[in-house]
Structure 1
Amino acid sequence: MSRATAKSPWVASPPLDLLLIAFGWLIAYLPLALIDAQFAAERNVRLYNARIQWVILAVLLVNYVHRHYTFLLVYGDRAEFHKHKSAYVIWPLVAVAVTALSVQLSFFTVLAGISVAWTIYHTIAQKFGILRVYGGKAGYGKRWIDLGFVWSGLLLVVLVVFARERTGILAQYAFGRRAIQLLEPLLPILPWLRDLAAALFAAFVGLFAVEEIRNRQRLSLGRVAFAISILALYALFLRSLITAYIVFGFSHALEYVVFVNAFVRSKYRRLPENHSPVARAVRRYWVVVPTVTLLLALFSYGGLRWDAKWFGVYIVGSSFLHFIYDGLIWKVRKPDVARPLEVALAPTGDRSPLA
């Protein structure tokens, strides 16, 4: 890439980037690992379930908060809303109608399965997007290498998990059983495909490392740390599918919350004439933003306590809005996104959104 060097190589700050964006997933992983170790020693299922439910609840709340951040960005700023006004009016109506029909006509599990599949794509796309932001800020990094690094890793994970869990945990869930049906024809050549995917992933890891070494004079520590965190998260799938899925989801939500907070603070500092609710909230950041975040968490907790089933329906239905809206908002090639991020020049032809 040819571009000017940005003012700061960090998205938020060195501590926040390293402790939360790159390795914040440890907040969820360490308690899960400790609970697993205690269970291995005690073999007390009741105690295990009591302990793990609190970790899962915390992960769910962070996940639900991050999804609602997107709606605040859209409906809390008139300028952002008017960029895609029709979409922001029509898509909620479509989501309500489709979700209601799915419940009425008994195909909600299909809708939930689509949401899970889209969540996986959405999560990996965000990892790729953040890598691109770090590259854009530092002034180096090839798009095709970053793309191959992230997606070849996912391919390897899918094949390894399928080979190991097709008669285990995957078979216990409707989405897993559907995935097994889709991949079953590959069984005769699965070992060959797995080895090929491993070689491909190793090649892209090598290419990524070479690119970092070649640009060591302007090396982005945030980018390197984030890449290492992706490798570590992929490695978790070798230990436990459930743990890895929970931790991966938590990492996605937490990095999004930190990223959005850094973005809006930078954006509205440059727009003193903007008096939207989001802009006003950012100008009283340490009062309003934590309060709003806490209220979103309480709303989500209340929904789970009131009726977990129907709140789950709401979450699945609204998840599609989150996916679509993020695709509209987070395109780093657009100046109004690149400028607050201090990316001097967004990657040419980079069509992948942040999330």
Structure 2
Amino acid sequence: MPRATSDRFSRAHQPSAKPKASSESNTSGSGVHNPIFNTERFGQHILKNPQTAQSIVDTANLRPTDKVLEVGPGTGNLTVRILEKAKHVTAVEMDPRMAAELTKRVQGKPEQRKLEIMIGDFVKATLPYFDVCISNTPYQISSPLVFRLLSHRPLFRTAILMFQREFALRLVARPGTELWSRLSANVQLYAKVDLVMNVSKNNFRPPPKVESSVIRLVPRDPPPPVEFGEFDGLLRIVFGRKNKTVHANFQAKGVTEMLESNWRTWASVNNVMIEDGMNMKKKVEEVLQETGFSESRPAKMDIDDLLKLLSAFHDVGIHFA
């Protein structure tokens, strides 16, 4: 039998499941209730189109030696195709009933020895080594999944991930476009991301209310020597209102106080004498003027611009995490 483990996980990030009235539970005309598995509880939609499933697996370019991490296998429509090409698959599934269905699907077959099922919350899981990640991602863990993968060590080779289309388009957005955002910049600093295919909602059971897309994510190797907390801390400020100027975003309520607190901590740790009457607002304005980004708008700044700004702040002891 595939090994199934559940004691290391929790469902803390999931909404509690409340019993529904019988009249509601028997209604399927809305197209969002799965009569076999309570998929809406976990934000899952089972991929039913075999051609789409095969295209996703083919895109991963799996090797016979690959160990694959699959997130949200559901009943295994992707899993069985991955098992045909990979050495081993670890499937992380939140719903024990779906895990049981997947177990039955490979029971007594050669693929049984190649599959391990982990029942629980992917975001909190202790992940094994893997070469490739493939995921039909439950909507509510889209962002946590991406950043969990990017922080995983050792680096994996590639990830083929299905998301709600708007989220996928934000991942691949370019500076100056409407969807360029803090998410876009954070992800693209640490990985190359490209759109692989669009997937109609009719490919799923139950069909979601939105369309989906598949992206390919390849970690930059070696990763850039930039602490995520620092880069994201800067982005939180400048993308607070991405169509306003950088200077205006640094004038937002609480920003100066936060930077001054961080600066005092940095000065203490590095044995830097704290200046009498230090004016953080003036220090910030000097950096913005010297870098030439004071009147820039984050919606049009690329990653190199953001890194130059972060480096200039660090040079004068201003930190964001």
Higher relative contact order (CA 8 A, sep 6+): 1
Q: Which structure has more strand as a fraction of its residues?
A: 2
Between Structure 1 and Structure 2, whose CA radius of gyration is higher? 2
